[in-house]
């Protein structure tokens, strides 16, 4: 299962991505929003992440105007590796070397054809493992590094 979410800036763009998923025969669920009214993108990023962490979805696709905000919000969660991709190569490497489980896209910076190619490559590329597994394990935050408020 692939879950998708966006903010208001990416509603039409998300519809294009849904068509790509349907063409590929990939099961998916749209977590919203469905209206173009202004929303707070972190709310949708956190909801999508919870679906993945709970095991109800394997991968996610987040979209906003640039993809930056969504990637920042998603990456705040332990176990999430959200990758902002701008082409097929970055999508392939995000999966192959970094085991990315969330793809982030910018609706205002990508054309439909490039976005479709990114999604197709991201979903078709497996994690290579091996030497990359050790590196992926080092991505998770070290909880002792946090400064506690006095």
Would you say residue 145 has pLDDT above 80?
no
pTM over 0.95: no
Active-site choice (46, 86, 97, 132) = 97
The CATH number covering residue 38 comes to 3.40.1400.10
Structure confidence by residue, pLDDT tens digits, 96-141: 999 999 999 999 999 999 999 999 999 999 998 888 988 888 887 6
Whether the CB-CB separation of 88 and 118 falls below 8 Å is answered with yes
Would you say residue 48 has pLDDT above 90?
yes
Residue 65: which of 104, 106, 34 has the closest Cα? Answer: 106
Question: Is residue 98 assigned to a domain?
Answer: yes
Domain span at 46: 2-138
Structure confidence by residue, pLDDT tens digits, 56-85: 999 999 999 999 999 999 999 999 999 999
Would you say residue 150 has pLDDT above 50?
no
Residue 52, token pair as written in the block: 């993945």
Question: Is residue 115 assigned to a domain?
Answer: yes
Q: How far is CA 105 from the centre of its chain?
A: 7
Domain total in the chain = 1
Question: Is residue 63 assigned to a domain?
Answer: yes
Question: Is residue 64 assigned to a domain?
Answer: yes
Active-site choice (28, 64, 77, 104) = 64
Whether the CB-CB separation of 8 and 109 falls below 8 Å is answered with no
Question: Annotated catalytic, 97?
Answer: yes
Would you say residue 143 has pLDDT above 90?
no
Question: Annotated catalytic, 8?
Answer: no
């Amino acid at each position: 299962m692939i879950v998708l979410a966006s903010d208001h800036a990416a509603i039409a763009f998300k519809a294009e991505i849904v068509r790509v998923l349907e063409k590929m025969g990939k099961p998916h669920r749209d977590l919203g929003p469905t209206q173009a009214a202004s929303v707070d993108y972190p709310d949708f990023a956190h909801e999508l992440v919870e679906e993945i962490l709970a095991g109800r979805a394997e991968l996610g696709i987040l979209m906003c105007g640039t993809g930056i905000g969504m990637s920042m919000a998603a990456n705040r969660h332990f176990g999430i590796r959200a990758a902002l991709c701008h082409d097929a190569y970055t999508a392939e490497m995000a999966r192959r070397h970094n085991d990315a489980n969330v793809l982030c896209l910018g609706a205002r910076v990508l054309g439909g054809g490039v976005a479709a190619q990114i999604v197709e490559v991201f979903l078709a590329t497996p994690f290579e493992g091996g030497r990359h597994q050790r590196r992926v394990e080092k991505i998770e935050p070290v909880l002792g590094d946090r400064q506690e408020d006095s």
